[in-house]
Amino acid sequence: MDLKNHVRQIPDFPKPGINFFDISTLIGHPEAWRVTVERTTALLQEWKPDVLAAIDARGFLVAAPVAIPLNCSVIMIRKSGKLPGKVKSHKYGLEYGTDVIEMQDDAVKQGQRVVIVDDLLATGGTLMAAANLIRSSGGNIVGAVALIELSFLKGRAKLDMPFKALLEYDSE
């Protein structure tokens, strides 16, 4: 099954000049979503994760069903102010300005094998910010995965961990 047939591209969203890769059409197709979960699970098995660190918000959709066959837990990496209790924060640069992501202070234990999960890798900034948060808690990042890699943005080159993507787009 060609999963790219189930990813809708929306030009000029959320602002002019951006081509948005929408996975709502992928998760809305039961067979395509099942295949997506199975293939993503297969990509991660060799890393033997203890924890999947899901990036807000579409990373949650990917990590939750994949964690079940991998028999691992899921933690949430969220935008600032979205998690209850004591949190760790990391501020990072964006193309225009800065952003902050957080995880609960006790989410990752020292030495746990962590795979970071997101729906899309673009420039790599958010994924590396998540990696910094996880490492600050003693987590051992064994890899990262995204459903979609926009390889023309060269985000993979900024990563300092193994990375895999289910689908690759090499042009806008």
Range list of H helices, the chain? 24-27, 30-44, 58-70, 125-136
| Catalytic residue (one of 34, 46, 78, 95) | 95
Predicted pLDDT at 96: 67
- The pLDDT of residue 97: 76
Using CB atoms within 10 A of its CB, is residue 124 exposed (0-12), middle (13-18) or buried (19+)? buried
| Catalytic position from the list 58, 78, 102, 149 | 58
Q: Is residue 46 among the annotated active site residues? A: no
Q: Is the dihedral of CA 130, 136, 139, 140 positive or negative?
A: positive
Does the N-terminal peptide bond of residue 67 adopt cis geometry, omega within 30 degrees of 0? no
Rounded CA-CA distance 74/163 in Å is 18
- pLDDT tens track for 26-83: 999 999 999 999 999 999 999 999 999 999 999 999 999 999 999 999 999 999 999 9
Average pLDDT, the chain: 96
* 95 a catalytic residue: yes
Task: Write out pLDDT tens, residues 2-23.
Answer: 999 999 999 999 889 889 999 9
Q: 112-128 pLDDT, tens per residue? A: 999 999 999 999 999 99
